[in-house]
Amino acid sequence: MSIDQMGIHIGPLYLRFYGMILIAGAFVAGYLASYEAKRRGQNPELVWDGMIWVLIAGIIGARLWHIFTPPPSMTSQNITTLFYLTHPLDAIAVWKGGLGIPGAVAGGMLGLYLFTRQMKLNFAEWADIVAAPLALGQAIGRWGNFINQELYGAPTTLPWGINIDAAHRVAGFTDPALRFHPTFLYESIGNLLICGALIYLGRRYADKLKIGDLFLIYLILYPTLRFFLEFVRLDSSQVFGLNANQTLMVVLVGVSAVALINRHRERHWRRYEIKEKERTAQRARANEIPAEPSPSVAEGITGDRDSE
């Protein structure tokens, strides 16, 4: 057995650190999801039953996002979408890196939807259950990018700047003295904060949140984080001259924020309508039912009192 920078050699078997980190992130996220499911009165074993659906669909989605949005450093080497489509073995070589988070989330949620539909579960409720674990899994998985020396940021003089081997540097940054922003670390820390925020909100405002709200909040927080990190990252994917990741993040934040606001605006409006209907009904009853006559009037009408 031997260990190198990228993994562990055990005879003919080569275990890459990248893959092991992703698997570790998935299982840690699974444990948190099972705890959350139990807290909400759901069967925690369903988390592990559904994980295979989520992982397979997530990996497929992540790879497809990379294939259809290759970064400039790869397109400059003629590794384009067309290359992947005509070289299927390269297209499935996920162990070499090249997994896009947007595709992973989209694919994973599709897998979750199919699983909940198969098991006749509430998809929105389970989306809430996996929201915080998803952020936690991302926080752990980002360290795989550190191992592969990918997705780093622009050069920096900050003390936490990292060195990138010449073989993994983007063209134009060959000076060996350069250090780069560890954007994987920024995103990892940001995802940990998002995970904590979702756990806090889910408990502190449990009586005010509607089913599906927590996942919508995730779709606001993570895309916001990713949008700003794209300003620091090098080698961002471009589609029609636009940063593919930033463009998608803006759309997600906008759609999710509008959906979240409208859901609660509708809730308050319905409460207002119900209260108005109750007030109207009370006024109607007050106008329709005459007041009970006083004893003196009643006796005068019925003649119960003796005349004086």
Mutual angle of helices 123-141 and 17-39, in 10-degree steps: 150
Q: Range with the lowest mean pLDDT among 10-24, 33-47, 285-299?
A: 285-299
Residue 285 falls inside a structural domain: no
What local confidence, expressed as pLDDT, does residue 299 receive?
A: 52
Residue 299 falls inside a structural domain: no
The structural domain count of the chain equals 1
Question: CA of 9: how far to CAs of 20, 127, 137, 146, in Å?
Answer: 13, 38, 26, 20
Residue 264 falls inside a structural domain: yes
Report pLDDT digits (tens) over 114-161: 999 999 999 999 999 999 999 999 999 999 989 988 889 999 999 999
Q: What is the pTM of this model?
A: 0.83
Higher pLDDT, 172 or 230: 230
241: which residues sit within 8 A by CB, 6+ positions away?
none
Residue 292 falls inside a structural domain: no
Residue 303 falls inside a structural domain: no
CB neighbour class for 183 (10 Å; exposed up to 12, middle 13-18, buried from 19): buried
Residue 140 falls inside a structural domain: yes
Residue 32 falls inside a structural domain: yes
- Domain span at 23: 2-280
